[in-house]
Amino acid sequence: MLHYILFHQREIGEATLEHIWLVGISILIAVAVGIPLGILMTRKPRLRTAILGSANIIQTIPSLALFGFLLPAPWLGARAERIAIVTLALYSLLPIVRNTYTGIMGVDPAVREAAEGMGLTNGQLLFQVELPLAASFIMAGVRTATVISIGVATIAAAIGAGGLGEFIFRGLAMVNNQLILAGALPAALLALGSDLSLGWVEAGLTPPHV
Amino acid sequence: MIFKKLAAPIVCALIVCSSCMPQHHDRIVVASKNFTEQAILGEILAQYIEYRTKVPVERRFYLAGTYVCHQALLAGRADVYPEYTGTALTAILEEKPSGNEANVFQRVKSEYAQRFKLDVMPSLGFNNTFAVIIRGEDARRLHIHTLSEAGKYSPQWRAAFGYEFMERPDGYAGLARVYNLHFAQPPKAMDLGLLYRAIKDHQVDLIVGNSTDGLIQALNLVVLQDDRHYFPPYDAVPIVRQDTIRRFPLLKTALDDLAGKISEDEMRKMNYAVDGERRDTPVVAREFLKSKGLLQ
């Protein structure tokens, strides 16, 4: 097995980079969309059910079906990577949105009152009090989203987006366990590694007194 | 404050990354479906197109089935992929499985050109029909060679097919009607690669694979004859986008060169080299092209 991985290390390395690229971009998009949505929910409680509901529904669609739905989409369909990135970003929304909301709502009301008493504007309250206090929660959401995405991204090979999933599908076609492992092992290591390193970031963001 | 500081780099990173996504006007993308023969054919097309046109070729293999490949060509994600005439007729054009080799080819060619602006190139030279497969030991014990003979034993058997075969007009429903097949349990649908594993491990007793599959021989399996001619012809043909041919006229020459070059036996041997002997697909493809004098 080790011999096999060493023999194909260049191919595996390239696929791993592709995998990281797909997951990285999609998480960036999910963060850029998800955190503002989470904040919006704390400001406009009426939107809460709509936003969380949609994120929840997306989560229940099987990934292969979602990839399939987007195949004929106009601009998206022009490149398989675009479909993969949008799908992964959609899956990442729920943990990020929910954790942003929970993190901000979890800020001690006394702290918020004190800040308002000091005359902080809504924007100052958000950026100087609520978000720093909620940062570790939000990071936990990003961490969950990343680990899920690394798994789902292996399916993206089914529509030609590349990544480590290609080894898995190739191994299935050839009835070759070594090939399947050549895709599955690096993907598992990638998930473990990013979980660990994002865990450190999360610990660093936890306010000292909590 | 930390979030304000983060926002700008995130937005920048997004813009940079979306702009550096490679555009595909300067290369040809070859796709294939998710089984070994398709990967070998894809590799043969890719290597020969690269050699003949000098245009860089990108490979997108192991796509999840006919629909995904067809969509990839329509959307321009891919330019060429190997298809089978009978599959194009039934799965894409959704017509009844009928007609002889020439009829089916002509019908598919004209419909593809009209409806999808896709060119169906001349056959690569072999017909890869569906193969209804049982274990060699069962075939010898029961003395059966044909599908008609298999009908009466089917109630003792469990069956498994690929997902596509369950749904296609030339798939399970019609086969069961024509040969009066009734299995012990409703047939299982599974990934193509897992079919051979399942029959080898006695999880099922009958599978439907492809007649050129290398594993048939490798696992000592037997193909039952389609003695009532249920399946239409499935000649292997490259399908290509018309606008790609306009951009790279040599692509048509390259695909024409490959016409009639692969016999059924040669295809089966290549499949066996990959599935049975665990050899690398690109190497098998290169050796084949060299043996035919197409590559130096």
Do B19 and B122 fall within a single domain?
Answer: yes
Q: Do B217 and B245 share a structural domain?
A: no
* B31 & B110 share domain: yes
| B154 part of a folded domain | yes
**For A70, nearest residue in chain B (alpha carbons):** B71
A71/B contact by beta carbon, under 8 A: yes
Q: Is A170 on the interface with B (CB under 8 A)?
A: yes
| pLDDT score for B14 | 53
Q: Do the Cβ atoms of B61 and A166 come within 8 Å? A: yes
Confidence at residue B15, expressed as pLDDT on a 0 to 100 scale: 52
* Cβ <8 Å between A160 and B13: no
Considering only CB atoms, which chain B residues are within 8 Å of A170?
39, 61-62
In a domain, residue B296? The reply is: no
Number of Cβ within 10 Å of residue B263's Cβ equals: 12
Confidence of residue B24 (pLDDT cuts 50, 70, 90): low
Domain boundary among B199, B224, B249: B224
Residue B93, in any domain of the structure: yes
A123 dihedral zone (left: phi>0; alpha: psi -120 to 50; beta): alpha
Q: What is the pLDDT of residue B19?
A: 46
- Within-domain flag for B252: yes
Is the distance from CB of A49 to CB of A114 less than 8 angstroms? no
- Within this chain, do residues B11 and B142 fall inside the same structural domain, yes or no? no
Pick from B1, B62, B76: which is nearest to A173 by CB? B62
Separation between Cα atoms, residue B264 and residue B223, nearest integer Å = 15
CA torsion through residues B255, B256, B261, B263, sign: positive
Between B219 and A6, the more confident residue is B219
**pLDDT tens per residue, range A54-112:** 999 999 999 888 988 888 888 888 888 999 999 999 999 999 999 999 999 999 999 98
B142-199 confidence digits (pLDDT tens): 999 999 999 999 999 999 998 889 888 899 999 999 999 999 999 998 888 789 989 9
User: How far is Cα B188 from Cα B65, in angstroms, rounded to an integer?
Assistant: 18
Which of B62, B63, B77 shows the shortest C-beta gap to A77?
Answer: B77
CATH of the domain at B175: 3.40.190.120
Partner-chain residue, chosen from A72, A169, A172, that has the shortest CB–CB distance to B75: A72
pLDDT tops 50 at residue B78: yes
A127 vs B: CB within 8 A: yes
- Residue B229 located in a structural domain: no
Query: What ipTM score was computed for the predicted complex, to two decimals?
Result: 0.74
Most confident of B87-91, B216-220, B285-289: B285-289
CB atoms closer than 10 angstroms to residue B228:
12
Range name among A18-27, B217-226, B234-243 with the lowest pLDDT average: B217-226
Does residue A17 belong to the interface with chain B, where contact is any CB pair within 8 Å? Answer: no
Domain end point (choices B176, B205, B224): B224
Q: Does A128 touch chain B (CB under 8 A)?
A: yes
Contact B71 A35 (CB under 8 A): no
Q: What is the pLDDT of residue B9?
A: 52
Domain of B107: which CATH number?
A: 3.40.190.10
CB B164 within 8 A of CB B195: no
Whether residues B174 and B287 share a domain: the answer is no
Average pLDDT across each block of 10 residues of chain A; the chain has 210 residues. List them in order.
76 93 97 96 92 92 89 85 94 95 93 90 91 93 96 92 91 83 94 95 78
Distances (CA, A) of B55 to A170, B30, B48, B69, B76: 26, 12, 11, 21, 17
The set of residues, in sequence order, having a beta carbon less than 8 Å from that of A171 and lying 6+ positions away, is A177, A178, A179, A180, A181, A182, A183, B193
Residue B20, pLDDT score: 45
Same domain, B215 and B161: yes
pTM, 2 dp: 0.81
A177 interfacial to chain B (CB closer than 8 Å): no
Q: Which of B178, B204, B224 is the last residue of a domain?
A: B224
Whether residue B230 is contained in a domain is answered as no
For residue B22, what pLDDT is reported?
A: 47
| Chain B environment of A175 (Cβ under 8 Å) | 193-194, 196-197, 215, 275
pLDDT of residue A68: 85
Residues B137 and B272 in one domain: no
Do B121 and B137 belong to one domain?
no
Average of pLDDT values for B131-143? 95
Give me B94's structure tokens: 């959704």
Closest CA–CA distance from residue A47 to any residue of chain B (Å): 23
Do B12 and B121 fall within a single domain? Answer: yes
The closest CB to that of A174, out of B36, B64, B75, belongs to B36
Kindly state whether residues B282 and B219 are assigned to the same domain: no
3-class secondary structure for A14-54?
A: HHHHHHHHHHHHHHHHHHHHHHHHHHHHHHCHHHHHHHHHH
Task: State whether B243 and B112 are in the same domain.
Answer: yes
pLDDT at B7 over 60: no
Please check the confidence at residue B217 and state whether its pLDDT lies above 90.
no
Same domain for B245 and B119: yes
**Would you say residue B155 lies in a domain?**
yes
Higher pLDDT, B284 or A9: B284
Q: Which residue of A has its CA nearest to B5?
A: A127
Query: Rounded distance, CA B256 to CA B119, Å?
Result: 12
The count of domains in chain B is 2
Domain limits for position B167: 130-224
Q: Which helix (H) or strand (E) holds A191?
A: helix A177-205
Shortest CA distance to A173 belongs to which of B131, B36, B39? B36
3-class state of residue A209 by DSSP: coil
| B23: closest chain A residue by CA | A79
Contact B60 A127 (CB under 8 A): no
Q: How long, in residues, is chain B?
A: 296
Cβ–Cβ contact A204 with B under 8 A: no
| All residues at 6 or more sequence positions from A95 whose CB lies less than 8 Å from its CB, including other chains | A141, A142, A144, A145, A148
Instruction: State whether A173 and B39 contact (CB < 8 Å).
Output: yes
Instruction: Enumerate the H helices of chain B as residue ranges.
Output: 2-19, 36-53, 66-75, 85-87, 101-116, 136-142, 147-150, 163-167, 172-179, 192-200, 215-218, 242-247, 250-257, 264-275, 281-291
